[in-house]
A and B are shown apart, each in its own frame.
Chain A
Amino acid sequence: MDQLNRFENFHDFDFGLKMVYQEGYEDIDLAEEDIDLLANEFTGVDEDLEEGALQDQMQLQLMLQQQYAQEIPEVVKNFIIYFHRNILENNVYELHGIYENSFNRLTEKFYAKTPWPEADYIAPMVNDDQVFLTLYRELYYRHIYSKLSPTIEHRFHSYENYCDLFNFILNSDGPVSLELPNQWLWDIIDEFIYQFQSFCNYRNRLKNKTDEEIALLRENIQVWSCYSVLNVLYSLITKSRITEQLLVSKLGGDMIEAAGEYGSRPLYKMLGYFSIIGLLRVHCLLGDYTLALKMMDNIELNKKALFARVTACHVTTYYYVGFAYMMMRRYADAIRAFSHILVFIARTKMYHTRSYQFDQINKKGDQMYALLAICIALCPTRLDESIHTHLKEKYGDHSSKMQRGLYTTMGIDKLAAFLEIEAEELRTQLLIVKQKSRQQKWTSGTLLEGEYVTTSDLDFCLKQDMIHIAESKVGRRYGDWFLRNINKFQDILAGMNLRS
Chain B
Amino acid sequence: MNNDSLLFPSPLIPPSRPEIIQSLIDGVDRYNPDNVSILEEYLAVQLQNEEYDLMANLAILKLYQFNPHLVNEIVINNILVKALTAIPNPDFNLCLYLLQEGALNDENVLKLITLQQLLEQARYQEFWDTFEKDEAYREIASEAIGFENAIRKVILTAICMTYHSISADLLRSYLNFTNDDDEFESFIQSRELIIKDNVVTIPTNYDNEAKPTVIRENIKFEQLKEKEPKIKVVKVVAINKI
Contact = CB atoms under 8 A, between A and B. Distances in A.
Contact of B5 (A432, A453, A470, A472): A453
B8 A434 contact: no
A288 B58 contact: yes
Contacts of B224: 482-483, 486
B28 interface: yes
Given A435-B88, A472-B213, A483-B227, A287 B98 contact: yes
Contacts of A482: 219, 224
Interface residues of A, number: 61
Q: How large is the interface on B (under 10, 10 to 19, 20 to 34, 35 or more residues)?
A: 35 or more
Interface string A214-249: 000000000000110010001000000000000000
B74 interface: no
B45 to A, nearest CB: 21
A440 B158 contact: no
B237 A497 contact: yes
Contacts of A438: 5, 7, 88, 161, 207
Contact of B164 (A288, A291, A450, A462): A462
A432 B210 CA distance: 16
Nearest to B61: A288
B18 interface: no
B90 A432 contact: no
B198 to A, nearest CB: 11
A460 B210 CA distance: 5
A473 B212 contact: yes
B210 A486 contact: no
A493 B231 CA distance: 11
A493 B217 contact: no
A33 B237 CA distance: 83
Contact of A478 (B88, B209, B217): B217
A432 B123 CA distance: 9
Nearest to B5: A452
B5 A451 contact: yes
B217 A473 contact: no
Interface string B5-36: 10111001000000000000001110111100
A16 B162 contact: no
Given A20-B33, A430-B162, A489-B234, 16 more contacts: A17-B31, A17-B32, A18-B31, A286-B98, A289-B94, A329-B90, A432-B121, A440-B9, A461-B164, A461-B210, A463-B163, A475-B215, A482-B219, A482-B224, A490-B234, A496-B241
11 contacts: A290-B55, A291-B62, A328-B94, A452-B7, A461-B164, A461-B208, A461-B209, A462-B166, A475-B215, A478-B217, A483-B227
Interface of B: 4-5, 7-9, 12, 27-29, 31-34, 54-55, 58, 62, 65-67, 88-90, 93-94, 97-98, 120-123, 158-159, 161-167, 199, 207-217, 219, 224, 227, 230-231, 234, 237-238, 241
Interface pairs A-B: 10 shortest CB-CB: A431-B122, A287-B97, A452-B5, A452-B7, A461-B210, A470-B212, A470-B210, A475-B216, A434-B162, A475-B214
Interface of A: 15-18, 20-21, 226-227, 230, 234, 286-291, 327-329, 428-432, 434-435, 438, 440, 448-454, 459-464, 468-475, 477-479, 482-483, 486, 489-490, 493, 496-497, 500
